[in-house]
Amino acid sequence: MSKHHLIWNESRHCIGIAAIDDQHREIIGRVNLIADAVDQVNRHEAAQEMMDDLILFACEHFALEERLMTEYGFPDLEEHIAEHLGLLQQLNNLRNALHTPSPAKAALVSAFITDWAEQHILQFDKEIGAFLTAKGMS
């Protein structure tokens, strides 16, 4: 396991909504695999393909969160959607940066994992979790 990995921690990362937590677990797993691939010279094409898949998966994931926020009347919907757009922009930038492999690229992916998991999930998605669980969802 490389130093770039983020370890999923149920009590730290779960927001309490099973469908969203499952997708977050999957996302962190995929980003860790990409971090491994960009670290290896002969695997940068695989890393690009995994990144394409991750972008599609992230779009599905953001759509799920946005649908639930809309359905239940989450008050900070617009701010959250803007955050998602920013994350997609970062993912696309990383995807474009993966043309050639290098330790610097691995560091970029690593920084992105931290950003997403530590900031977006813990700060923004936890708010959705608290809001939806208060509405009786799980």
Stretch that binds Fe ion, among 47-55, 93-101, 110-118, 124-132 (CB under 5 A): 124-132
Pick 39 or 125: Cβ nearer Fe ion: 125
Task: Tell me which of 17, 65, 116, 131 binds Fe ion, using CB under 5 A.
Answer: 65
Which position among 21, 36, 39, 125 is part of the footprint of Fe ion (CB under 5 A)?
125
Instruction: Report the length, in residues, of the chain.
Output: 138
Point out which span in 34-42, 67-75, 102-110, 117-125 binds Fe ion (CB under 5 A): 117-125
Task: Give 22 or 45: the residue with its C-beta nearer to Fe ion.
Answer: 22
36 vs 125 by CB, closer to Fe ion: 125
Which residues here bind Fe ion, judged by CB under 5 A? 65, 125
